[in-house]
Amino acid sequence: MAGNVPPSLQLQNLAALGERHPDLVVEVAHPKIIQESGAQILRCANLLVGSPSALADQATEHQLLEASHRWNHAVFVARGALWGTEDITRLDAAGGLQSLRVTMATHPDGFRLEGPLAAVPSTGRRTVLYEGPIRGLCPFAPRNSNTMAAAALAAPSLGFDGVVGVLVADLSLTDMHVVDVELSGPPGPTGRRFAVHTHRENPAEPGAVTGSATVTTFWRSLLGCCQLPSRPGIHLC
């Protein structure tokens, strides 16, 4: 922050946050910030989570909900690159969502993987690095699974254990992040299902974790949550 933020506006100790009387604290750093300090922040202000993969940890989600209700502050979660968030939520609330699958593909240089995923080799032009419940992906791809985590929050009937996440390394996607969202409902009287498939191509600098359009989306989430009522709970925005 040196040279960019005046010293008077820098907070060196989070314990002194209450002295600044903030209305909203915005996290855009890493899910560990939410896991380690989210509940503490909620004592003083509403919280906008920019790393929703943090909520794949059940203890963190429980702590945030408890602190939110105790201190009467809201937890807002940015939707990021998830297209059709409201539609997913409405369908889920109506009992019409049976499956939800989110595939995120980009060049291997755009991934920041940890643990066993970091050791998975990319073989060929397109390699599936992970396919399974989002809860199992987030700890090892905390900066590359936020769109999937937002999907899990948008569809609470499926949640982190029911929504499927697919992470793909694609050598051809040097300047782009591609997100496919596929959902379906239960079979109707004729046996046919309601289904939706969205395909989002987000330009990105080579090796970047975040696409250019996601920055604009996050800014809109920030403006949006400032206009929403401060009520306890976790709310996508």
Which domains occur in the chain, in start order? Answer: 7-80+217-236 (3.40.50.720), 85-209 (3.30.360.10)
- Sign, Cα dihedral of 113, 117, 123, 124: negative
* pTM for the full predicted model: 0.92
Place of tokens 């980009």: 106
pLDDT of residue 122: 79
Name every residue whose Cβ is closer than 8 Å to that of residue 41 and which is 6 or more positions away in sequence: 14, 17, 25, 47
Task: Judge contact between 100 and 183, C-beta under 8 A.
Answer: yes
pLDDT one digit per residue (tens) for the chain, 237 residues:
777 889 888 888 888 899 999 999 999 999 999 999 999 999 999 999 999 999 999 999 999 999 999 999 999 999 988 999 999 999 999 999 999 999 999 999 999 999 999 998 877 899 999 999 999 999 999 999 999 999 999 999 999 999 999 999 999 999 999 999 999 999 989 999 999 999 999 999 998 888 888 888 899 999 998 888 889 999 999
How far is residue 229 from each of residues 38, 46, 102, 171, 236, measured CA to CA in Å?
A: 19, 10, 30, 44, 13
Region of residue 233 (left: phi > 0; alpha: psi -120 to 50; beta: else): left
**Can you tell me the distance from the alpha carbon of 93 to that of 185, in angstroms, rounded to the nearest whole number?**
12
pLDDT of residue 211: 84
